[in-house]
Structure 1
Amino acid sequence: MKTLYLVRHAKSSWENALQSDFDRPLNERGLKSAPLMAELLKEKNVTPDIIVSSPANRATTTAGIFAGILGYPEEKIVQNMEIYTGGSSALLQIVRSLPDDCTSAALFGHNPVMTDFSNFLTGKHLDNMVTCGVVRIDMDNCSWKDAGERSGTLAWYEYPKKRE
């Protein structure tokens, strides 16, 4: 069995109107919710074998916070531009390319793609994965290459307001 965690980056700042979308940092709320959600995963004994993140500042910062709390070496976070620029098909290719010796993986990215990808993999409908929301998808297949439409089961969806 494979387990995939989809994590939407924590709340970002729109304070500087001149700042590029790619460079936007987390705001105060994001800096509070990322550790909260990472602690929740730690309580659930989640330790991803691999973390792949969009290289956008808000996503890598969120991934770094999770990595620190979950005991994953921050320098091993894989950055993939396709998470920032691509759609569900790009995320599917990333998942299909994961090494099979990894039984669990976490992808850190953006909406609407994270919501769409969860819906694609599970056949369940989430309206909107909120900032710092985490979806766990269980896949009965033995290889990441077998990931596809409705190949997974939505095990749970957690988000900050549910925990506060």
Structure 2
Amino acid sequence: MKTLALMRHAKSSWKHGELSDFERPLNKRGLRDAPDMGRRLARRQFAPDSIITSPAQRAVITARLIASEVGFPLEQILQAPDFYLASPDTLVDGVREADDRNQTLMLFGHNPGFTFLANSLGDLTIDNMPTCSIATFEFDIERWRDLDYGCGKLAFFDYPKNTDKA
């Protein structure tokens, strides 16, 4: 059994027009929501074996804030350049290369790729993955290279404005 968590970066700032999209930081709401979501995951006893993030600043900061709350070592967060604004196929290809010793992978990235991927992997439809949302899927596979579209089961979906907090 493998578990894959897709987490969209927290709310980012458009205040600094001189920054590229890649360099945009989190805004105040994002800096508040990410630790809150991390605490929700900790209450669920969610513990990733590996965290892989887009190298965009807003994704890296979100990954670090979540990792701090769930007890994942910050120095072990991996950055995957291909995950920046990636398509579902690119994301799946990256997951298929993961070490099979990792039972639970957590990816940090962007829309629209994450919403498209979430709707391709599982048994339920997610209209949109808002900022700082997480969609977690379980797969009846032993090797990550066997991951395929439509073979997962949505284990849980959460987002900052969810009133049914875990």
TM-score category by the smaller chain? Answer: over 0.9
Matched, 1:69 2:62: no
Alignment RMSD: 1.1
Cα distance between partner residues in 1 of 2:95 and 2:118: 12
| Partner residue in 1 for 2:86 | 86
| Partner residue in 2 for 1:32 | 32
Deviation of 1:123 after TM superposition, in Å, equals: 4.4
| Partner residue in 2 for 1:131 | 131
| Partner residue in 2 for 1:157 | 157
Cα distance between partner residues in 2 of 1:134 and 1:28: 19
Q: Name the count of aligned residue pairs.
A: 164
- Normalising by structure 1, we get a TM-score of 0.97
Contact conserved, 2:136 with 2:157, CA < 8 A, in 1?
Answer: yes
| Partner residue in 2 for 1:116 | 116
SS in 2 for 1:111: coil
Contact conserved, 1:23 with 1:57, CA < 8 A, in 2?
Answer: yes
Structure 1 stretch 85-94 or stretch 126-135: which is displaced more? Answer: 85-94
Deviation of 1:156 after TM superposition, in Å, equals: 1.3
Structure 2 unmatched runs, 5+: none
Q: Deviations over 1:93-139 (max 9, x none)?
A: 11101111110010000000010111111143211100000011011
- Normalising by structure 2, we get a TM-score of 0.96
Q: Deviations over 1:11-30 (max 9, x none)?
A: 00000112100000000000
Contact conserved, 2:85 with 2:110, CA < 8 A, in 1?
Answer: no
Deviation of 1:86 after TM superposition, in Å, equals: 2.5
Cα distance between partner residues in 1 of 2:85 and 2:63: 17
Runs of 4+ displaced beyond 3 Å: none
Cα distance between partner residues in 2 of 1:148 and 1:101: 18
SS in 2 for 1:127: coil
1:16-55 pair list within 5 angstroms? 16-55=16-55
Q: Deviations over 1:43-92 (max 9, x none)?
A: 00011000000000000000000111111111110100111042111100
Contact conserved, 2:136 with 2:156, CA < 8 A, in 1?
Answer: yes
